[in-house]
Structure 1
Amino acid sequence: MRIPIRMISIATTFFWMFLIVFLVSAVYSVKDVRFDFGEPQIGLTSDNKILFSLPITIDNKGYYNIGCFNVTTEILDHEGFMITRASTFIPVIEKGGQVMATHNVTININDLQNSQDYLFNDTELELREMVGLKLAEVIPVQASTNVSMPWGAPLYNFTLGEIEYAGFNGTHMTATIPMSFENHASFDFTGNIQIQMYNSTNTLVSEGQTTIETPQHVPYSGYIELNVPIIGITENGHLEVYFLTPLFEFGPLVIPYD
């Protein structure tokens, strides 16, 4: 059976009119979709990774369902190396419905320890955010943005002061080493700091450690005492510092003394 060209033309016209109306109404319905991003929370996971949690509420009062809602976060260092990547996917948000979800991103601080900048100096990380969805489960929409995220060093301005010696007994002296830093991180610094003392002949003459608990954004000032044999004391040498925490291990940090 042959269909007249005029009938095909009319059918095509109606199809395009329907498609245009559908697209316009689908796009227009976006005004009735509300995305609410709550206040980010920072904590620790059970395996001692830093956890960023972002509450998301999607209130779809539009005319159509929303499909394939996806939020992806990438965190990169200042050289462009990807530190972590995380995604949250919601298959369908029905019209008239509300969905609440939590977008979680974890950072293993050991991935940062190769650069002393992240432990001892405040710096910035690059944050890439990508959001995608399908209006009426058909029309894809995507958006992305790059922002800088400040990183606070847990051992900012770490300093060892001048060593002071005091008599201990006939063969040893007590060496008191002042120690200070500021915890600029968004997490508490809890762990052990170990110091090994070497004299001018590169001989290990003493070692010791202290346990530290410093809340976030709080300075620390204290000291560590070492028992040093008198025959091993020289005018100069160096100290090797090791940091042992549930979140990371770092060392040695070599600091000369004289």
Structure 2
Amino acid sequence: MIGVATTVFWVFIVIFAVSAMYSMKDVRFEFGEPQVSLTSEGDVLLFMPITVVNTGYYNIKNFNATTLVFDAESTLIVRGSTLVPIIETGMEVATGHNVTFSVADLLQKSERYLFEDVALRAEERIGLWAAEVIPVEARANVSLLWGAPLYNFALGAPQYSAYNVTHMRVEIPIGFENHAFFDLACNISVRMFDDSSSLLGVGATSVEVLQHSAYDGLLAMYVAVPTLETSTSGYFEVSFASSLFSYGPMVIYYG
């Protein structure tokens, strides 16, 4: 009788396990579009919405969703998790979690994040207990596009005009596109040198550019006439300063 009981027990276990796993085909996971914003502290706030629809035969226990965000070099930036203790059969649960990371820390990794759009990667890991006793795991990758705040930054050719008997006014065209998800307020300073590395002049300007907008403007400086008359080429040193980042000097040649 013990042998028969043992056999019946294991048959029941197998049938239950198969039934529980088969029931998983009626469980649907929906990953919504990631929502990105900026906190008042200057951190990236990433919200990952997840919907679980359980039309299977059994309850789901300890549903855990973990998000890992990697940079372009596959280095982990941040991770975050959400736990739903139980999702009963017939239920639809909309949940999600926030993960935050520092814009300044990301920009300090590489100048690419200032001037180039870069694809980041978010990995979603799902863990749960089917029928409250059988562990199930799954994962999926989501691409996140980092938009550069100074995309395609460039200085145009210097434009000269008379100012007084000792100095010339030099206007330098500035152009770039703010591909970032945040508005940009930034101070741009430029130092102008001739080809022998002698400093000719210094200028600065403040820019405010809405997200996903282009900027075209002029930066003015005043250069002594004698030094300018002997200089037809050289380079600029450009520096940037904002509440989110500081960068420079970046060298751009002219002439």
Give the alignment's TM-score, normalised by structure 1. Answer: 0.84
Question: Is structure 2 residue 103 aligned with structure 1 residue 136?
Answer: no
Cα drift, residue 177 of structure 1 = 0.3
Give the residue type in structure 2 aligned to 1:123: V
Counterparts in 2 of 1:74 and 1:170: CA distance versus 1, 3 Å = same
Residue in structure 2 matching 1:103, options 97, 106, 109: 97
Deviation at 1:40, TM superposition (A): 2.5
The correspondence for 2:234, drawn from 231, 234, 237, is: 237
Separation in 1, partners of 2:82, 2:166 = 64
1:162-207 CA-to-partner distances (Å, cap 9, x unmatched) read 0112122233221100011122333333322222223344344432
Of 7-16 and 60-69, more deviation after overlay is shown by 60-69
Q: Deviations over 1:86-125 (max 9, x none)?
A: 3223233344444332222334333244323222223323
Q: Which amino acid aligns with 1:28?
A: Y
Matches within 5 A, 1:212-223: 212-223=207-218
How many corresponding residue pairs?
252
Equivalent position amino acid for 2:162 in 1: G
Unaligned runs of at least 5 residues, structure 2: none
Secondary structure of residue in 1 paired with 2:109? coil
Match of 1:115 among 110, 113, 117: 110
Q: Root-mean-square deviation (CA), in Å?
A: 2.5
- Identity in percent: 49
Q: How do 1:26-37 residues align onto structure 2 when only pairs under 5 Å count?
A: 26-37=20-31
Runs of 4+ in 1 over 4 A off after TM superposition: none
**1:113/1:119 contact within 8 Å kept:** no
Give the corresponding residue for 1:4: none
Residues 89-238 of structure 1: pairs in structure 2 closer than 5 A = 89-110=83-104, 111-233=106-228, 234-238=231-235
Does structure 1 conserve the Cα–Cα contact (< 8 Å) formed by 2:117 and 2:145?
Answer: yes
Greater shift, 156-165 or 113-122, is seen at 113-122
* Greater alpha carbon shift after TM alignment, 186-195 vs 90-99: 90-99
Shift of 1:224: 0.8
TM-score, reference length from structure 2: 0.85
Preserved CA contact (<8 Å) 1:55 1:103:
yes
Is 1:248 the equivalent of 2:245? yes
In structure 1, the gaps of 5 or more residues are 1-6
Query: CA separation in 2, counterparts of 1:128 and 1:35?
Result: 15
One-letter identity of the residue aligned with 2:96: T
